[in-house]
Chain A
Amino acid sequence: MALEEYAGDMSMCCRCSACKFVPLQQVKGFKHANVCPSISRYNFHFYSGGGRLNLGYAGLKNGFQYVPRYLDVLYNCQLCGACDVSCKYGMDMEVLRPIQEMRIKAVEDGHPHPALETVVSRMRATGSMVPVAGRKRGDWAEGLGLRNALEEKVEILYHVGCLTSFDPERQKVARATARVLDRAGVSFGVLGEAETCCGGRAYEMGHQADFLAQAAKSKELVEKTGVKTLVTSCATCYQVYKVLYDRFGLKDELEVLHITQLLERLLGEGRLKPSRGQEITVTYHDPCHLGRLGEPWIHWQGKKIPGDRFVFDPPKPYRRGTHGVYEPPRRVLAALPGVRLVEMDRIKEYAWCGGSCGGVIDSNPEFAEWTAAERLAEATCTGAEAIVTASPWSEKLFAQVLAKNGGDLAVYDIVELVDQAV
């Protein structure tokens, strides 16, 4: 849908400012009441969800002026969707959708962010969102004897994702995932060197056409394997296959699982029996793409009923962050001997973004690190020894910020803990 189609939603913004904070029922004290990294960092109202809608609405009426400050606002947004959840606690209107469309429009109008354009060109050339640097995509699996889903029939395809495949520090998650699935006796395979980017991050960067082109390649590959289920250990890939592909009619009947959902299933079936592990107190960071943004897409078409209210025929079902993947990772952690979970103030649908969404790590690394540092400070308040997440992007950024700023927290991907316990 183009931005124009959200004119009614944008006109509904009453500038109440609720989108700057966690849903008001969840404000637990002076600290950690904010939910929007962008306005928390840059303070002007136009960096908030509501402020963005006000700009979008004015732009539709009077034309968009791509002045440097406007572009700064546009690209300094994590597209994390926290504003969307907080607004929809009280209102019936879309917030994140028009914000995303404003970015797409800017790219279409010839105003991409130069750093993001570089990343997208790389994806076009290499099929990877991250630098390939002479490595091969399947290198991480060397010596593991994994099946190639294009060559052998398997039940589940493990989609590894760009960062986990290529980043030497993240490849441990791919190996841990493969080991755990193997121990549970899951019939799975990988695509090895043939795997390609899901394209989702290009979409968030505003490059919709590139996303669609890349998604078509990825979909074709997955179809070639004939699997009915795709599992991934990357929260972003999960959201892209599960939600974005569905939205654009690319998902078909494919079952898309995040590794935490599959692990929960395997634990429940007794196929994984965690028996050892370290005594450790951890806190869990809900990646935006697995949590609120991971809520399934709802296909709906309707018309506004003329008259006094913003209501539709048929009634419009809103995605409000209610149905994200929140419990599976927590149940997995609860099943691990010795692991004790303590929660942060901002969790689940109103979690503070980890900083690596919306292309910000490429367009403004300082803002990305600031956002992550806020999360790490919140994690430290819980008294946990480690922060556990389920996204390689958050894990990488957390580790990077801790290395830079110091701090005693350890950082784990949830699969690493499961791997240790089984």
Chain B
Amino acid sequence: MALDKEIYAAFAGVVGEENICDDPALMPAYFFTDFAAVVLPKSTAEVQAVVRLCNQFRLQFRPICTGWTGFFRPGTVLLDLRRMDQIVEINEKNMYAVVEPYVTSAQLQAELFKRGLCTNLKGAGAQCSAMLRGHGHLDQSMGADDRNHLAVEWVTPDGELVRLGSLGSVGEWFSGDGPGPSLRSLISSVVPPSCTPGVFTKVAMKLYHWPGPTRYSLTGYSPRYLLAEKPPNMMARYYSFPTLDQMWQAEIKIGEAEIALELMGFNVAMVAANITTSNEEDEAMFKRLSQEVQGPGFFVIIAGNSPDDFAYKKKVLETIIAENEGMSLKSVEDPEIEGILLTQCTRISASVRETFRPGGNFKSIPIMGQRDLTIRWAVGAGQAKLPLIEQGLIADDGGGFFGWGVEHGHLGKTEIFCKFSPLNPEARKAVDAWAEQQSNRALEEKYFALTMGPPEQIDSKVGPALSNYHLWWYKVLATLDPNEVIPDKGVSKLHP
């Protein structure tokens, strides 16, 4: 679906011939659709110009960063933001970093470590954009989702440049809500569309104190990097509990005590995936760890700013674990495995091991809400996975789910996924049915709203369950996007 010559020339006039491709033969490299063209803008001005052309020619467009992205309609113009790859500023004093879209989380974090700072990387992995919204392993102590977005430079769907927060009033990046215009309610939502229409061209990310080393000292070769030396005042453990309620009590107490750098409600299948380097090793390790645990559990990293601080946090942690009859997993106490988990779970470098490695695909239901309620839902969703596991349609993770509290609180994210082969139509069908059932169950029980739902569910289910917010959203969108250049009303789908 190549572009009309005149349109092609107009885009090429903005980004240069070498930064546009509309050859249909190459489009399969970009996800499951026939894009009309891929353009690579280099600057905010080029993004604006490209977006204006999309409006002029009534072409729908979508921006992407590293390539891990959703499903789009054929004929969409793809703005690949790969050439916008600069760290604009790291402001140590005010603790924010301004990044362009293609700065990866791994790059920003490595720079921040050198300065005793860190950012909350998303669970999708450190190769993803540093400005990505969402949740990650460090949610417990480093905020989450849009709360880490400060001032934002935003090209709206009709090509207008909007500077949000303090950027719009005093030209500074320190705040997203003022002084200056705050449109946080428009640019962020955990319910669909859950992604902002238009393009973020620069975002100030909130930074946090990093008590760890300026750089991990690693030995070994890929795929098994080991910590040469455990950093002082850091510890990683996995605790399992006799009951779900005891696990939750321990989680909430740890939050109240504000001692954890990271509290990840990993199931043991995810621990096994992280510490192993192949599917076969993973399977054996999962069996081994399943024997070791006494029930549900979570993974914790504590890090002290001094030996005394570390000793205090460790003592509090051990007290809480003991009070709730928790048991530390011996395998994770092994310094080698502890080291692997410390580095991987702070640098988020092995997400694909947990998700894509076994079968090539996974389908997830992430939810936000009061953790003890969402955990109850997740138990049901996990049990509903068991027949699929027995039939060999999805990878065996024991029906596991995961999640954690955000900012040491009782609100947080709970997530559950099925790992399967996209080449097995029976598996895909079964997983889709599971996802629909469990998402519906969530909505019926009114714990929360589902995300990543298909667009039609917004109108029929999600919107009505949430005060018909979608009707308001569509009105806002009509103003922002008068020429309807945003596909699917801004809703992102992961797969066709």
**A interface residues, Cβ below 8 angstroms from B:** 8, 11-12, 14-18, 20-21, 23-30, 33, 43-46, 48, 50-52, 54-55, 57-58, 62, 65, 67, 69-70, 73, 85-86, 88-92, 307-311, 315, 318, 320-323, 326, 348-350
Within the complex, the shortest CB–CB distance from A85 to chain B, in Å, comes to: 5
| Neighbouring B residues of A70 by C-beta, 8 Å | 23, 25-26
Establish whether residues B395 and A322, one from each chain, have CB atoms under 8 Å apart when the complex forms: no
A318 vs B104: C-alpha distance when bound (angstroms)? 28
Residue B116 is within 8 A (CB to CB) of chain A in the complex: no
- Interface residue from A17, A58, A308 paired with B66 (Cβ < 8 Å): A17
Within the complex, the shortest CB–CB distance from B155 to chain A, in Å, comes to: 20
Within the complex, the shortest CB–CB distance from A25 to chain B, in Å, comes to: 5
Binary CB contact string for chain B from 85 to 111 against chain A (1 if under 8 A, 0 otherwise): 001000000000000000110111111
A305 vs B272: C-alpha distance when bound (angstroms)? 21
Residue B394 is within 8 A (CB to CB) of chain A in the complex: yes
| Neighbouring B residues of A23 by C-beta, 8 Å | 222-223, 225, 349
Describe B's contact surface by its main secondary structure.
loop
* Residues A310 and B279 in contact in the complex (CB < 8 Å), given A15-B69, A320-B223, A322-B223: yes
Establish whether residues B351 and A28, one from each chain, have CB atoms under 8 Å apart when the complex forms: no
Within the complex, the shortest CB–CB distance from A324 to chain B, in Å, comes to: 8
Binary CB contact string for chain B from 301 to 344 against chain A (1 if under 8 A, 0 otherwise): 00000000000000000000000000000000000000000011
> Taking CB as reference atom, which chain A residue is nearest B394?
A308
Between-chain CB contacts (< 8 Å), 11 pairs: A14-B352, A16-B352, A25-B347, A29-B114, A44-B80, A52-B29, A55-B28, A58-B28, A58-B29, A326-B221, A350-B222
Establish whether residues A321 and B222, one from each chain, have CB atoms under 8 Å apart when the complex forms: yes
A70 vs B29: C-alpha distance when bound (angstroms)? 11
Within the complex, the shortest CB–CB distance from A314 to chain B, in Å, comes to: 10
* Residues A14 and B344 in contact in the complex (CB < 8 Å), given A44-B26, A90-B353, A311-B280: no
* Residues A349 and B111 in contact in the complex (CB < 8 Å), given A73-B26, A315-B278: no
A89 vs B356: C-alpha distance when bound (angstroms)? 12
* Residues A88 and B223 in contact in the complex (CB < 8 Å), given A17-B68, A27-B110, A318-B278: yes
Residue B370 is within 8 A (CB to CB) of chain A in the complex: no
| Neighbouring B residues of A12 by C-beta, 8 Å | 356, 360
Residue from A26, A51, A348 having most chain B Cβ neighbours under 10 A: A26
Residue B19 is within 8 A (CB to CB) of chain A in the complex: yes
Instruction: Count contacts between A and B, CB distance < 8 Å.
Output: 200
- Interface residue from A17, A55, A348 paired with B67 (Cβ < 8 Å): A17
A322 vs B283: C-alpha distance when bound (angstroms)? 22
A308 vs B422: C-alpha distance when bound (angstroms)? 9
- Interface residue from A15, A69, A322, A326 paired with B224 (Cβ < 8 Å): A322
Within the complex, the shortest CB–CB distance from B99 to chain A, in Å, comes to: 10
| Neighbouring A residues of B224 by C-beta, 8 Å | 322
A45 vs B68: C-alpha distance when bound (angstroms)? 11
> Taking CB as reference atom, which chain B residue is nearest A73?
B26
Within the complex, the shortest CB–CB distance from B248 to chain A, in Å, comes to: 31
A318 vs B419: C-alpha distance when bound (angstroms)? 21
> Taking CB as reference atom, which chain A residue is nearest B343?
A25
Establish whether residues A29 and B280, one from each chain, have CB atoms under 8 Å apart when the complex forms: no
- Interface residue from A8, A43, A54 paired with B29 (Cβ < 8 Å): A54
Within the complex, the shortest CB–CB distance from B106 to chain A, in Å, comes to: 4
Establish whether residues B350 and A89, one from each chain, have CB atoms under 8 Å apart when the complex forms: yes
| Neighbouring B residues of A88 by C-beta, 8 Å | 222-223
A101 vs B28: C-alpha distance when bound (angstroms)? 18
* Residues A21 and B106 in contact in the complex (CB < 8 Å), given A67-B23, A91-B356, A349-B221: yes
| Neighbouring B residues of A326 by C-beta, 8 Å | 221
Establish whether residues B279 and A309, one from each chain, have CB atoms under 8 Å apart when the complex forms: yes
Within the complex, the shortest CB–CB distance from B406 to chain A, in Å, comes to: 23
| Neighbouring B residues of A14 by C-beta, 8 Å | 68, 352, 355-356, 360-361
A90 vs B392: C-alpha distance when bound (angstroms)? 23
Establish whether residues B352 and A43, one from each chain, have CB atoms under 8 Å apart when the complex forms: no
A240 vs B278: C-alpha distance when bound (angstroms)? 27
- Interface residue from B23, B106, B114 paired with A24 (Cβ < 8 Å): B106
- Interface residue from A17, A55, A309, A323 paired with B358 (Cβ < 8 Å): A309
Residue B359 is within 8 A (CB to CB) of chain A in the complex: yes
Establish whether residues B421 and A69, one from each chain, have CB atoms under 8 Å apart when the complex forms: no
Interface residues of B in 192-219 (CB under 8 A from A): 215-216, 218
Given contacts A18-B127, A88-B223, A307-B424, 12 further A-B contacts (CB under 8 A): A14-B361, A24-B125, A24-B349, A25-B218, A27-B104, A28-B110, A44-B38, A45-B80, A90-B353, A309-B419, A311-B280, A315-B278
Establish whether residues B420 and A308, one from each chain, have CB atoms under 8 Å apart when the complex forms: yes
